[in-house]
């Protein structure tokens, strides 16, 4: 009987310890999300504002502007305007990570990149396949390992017009509610 009690005590203790470990893991992650950008076509999360990088400016940028999101704590975001070989203009925000469809058959193009030393491929929304922008990876990493998505040396260029910020989406929903009543 004592043996059974000891086993039960052991199980309870290990459950408690696991809970404590989980709680301490949760506590270490206290960085607040500075805002979301969603796919304009279907509303899927595309990127979080925390991961936006403002210093990755192409030498080919024809204009650079900025805007802020967030109400209490403002997040400053740089937008660069670029032109593709067809003459189409795109306003891009650059980010360390974005939610792009994983297509193992897609290939990296080394030529015609807006960013020196980087190859590119198209970024499509994983849910609705809308064109969200491009992924960029260092050409030597592409030659070595041909990754499906950019490594931590790469980045993403997301077309500002293909996404909306969550606060803007919320304000549209509010407006929709107000207009309906
Ligand atoms: Zn979408």
Q: What is the pLDDT of residues 124-133, one digit of tens each?
A: 999 999 999 9
Three-class DSSP category at 169: helix
User: Per-residue pLDDT averaged across 48-57, rounded?
Assistant: 95
Report the C-alpha gap between 43 and 50 in whole angstroms: 19
Report the C-alpha gap between 177 and 3 in whole angstroms: 63
Going from the Cα of 147 to the center of ligand 1, the distance in angstroms, rounded, reads 23
Assess whether pLDDT exceeds 70 at residue 50: yes
Going from the Cα of 47 to the center of ligand 1, the distance in angstroms, rounded, reads 12
- CB neighbours of 150 closer than 8 A, spacing ≥ 6? 135, 136, 137, 156
Assess whether pLDDT exceeds 60 at residue 27: no
Going from the Cα of 64 to the center of ligand 1, the distance in angstroms, rounded, reads 26
Going from the Cα of 78 to the center of ligand 1, the distance in angstroms, rounded, reads 23
Going from the Cα of 46 to the center of ligand 1, the distance in angstroms, rounded, reads 8
Assess whether pLDDT exceeds 50 at residue 122: yes
Distance in Å from the first CA to the final CA of the chain: 68
Going from the Cα of 175 to the center of ligand 1, the distance in angstroms, rounded, reads 22
Q: Give the bridge partners for 37, in sequence order.
A: 47, 165
- Report whether 31 contacts 120 (CB < 8 A): no
Three-class DSSP category at 50: helix
Q: How far is CA 11 from the centre of its chain?
A: 41
Level-2 CATH architecture, domain 35-165: Beta Complex (2.170)
Instruction: Cite the beta strand spans of the chain per DSSP E.
Output: 36-39, 45-48, 63-69, 75-83, 89-95, 118-124, 131-138, 155-159, 163-165
Q: 118 to each of 63, 82, 128, how far by Cα in Å?
A: 21, 16, 27
Give pLDDT tens digits for 60-97: 999 999 988 877 778 889 999 999 999 999 999 999 99
Token pair of 35 as six digits: 């805002």
Q: Residue ranges per domain, the chain? A: 35-165
């Amino acid at each position: 009987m004592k043996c059974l009690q000891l086993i039960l005590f052991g199980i309870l203790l290990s459950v408690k310890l696991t809970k404590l470990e989980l709680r301490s893991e949760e506590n270490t992650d206290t960085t607040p999300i500075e805002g979301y950008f969603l796919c304009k076509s279907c509303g899927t999360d595309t990127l979080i504002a925390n991961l936006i990088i403002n210093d990755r400016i192409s030498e080919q940028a024809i204009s650079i502007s900025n805007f802020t999101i967030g109400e209490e704590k403002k997040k400053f975001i740089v937008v660069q305007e670029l032109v593709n070989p067809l003459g189409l203009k795109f306003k891009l925000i650059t980010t360390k990570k974005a939610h792009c469809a994983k297509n193992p058959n897609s290939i990296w193009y080394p030529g015609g990149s807006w960013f020196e030393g980087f190859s590119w491929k198209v970024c499509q929304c994983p849910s609705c396949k809308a064109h969200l922008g491009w992924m960029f990876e260092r050409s030597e990493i592409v030659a070595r390992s041909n990754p499906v998505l950019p490594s931590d040396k790469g980045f993403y260029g997301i077309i500002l017009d293909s996404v909306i910020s969550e606060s803007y989406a919320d304000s549209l929903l509010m407006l929709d509610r107000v207009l309906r009543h």
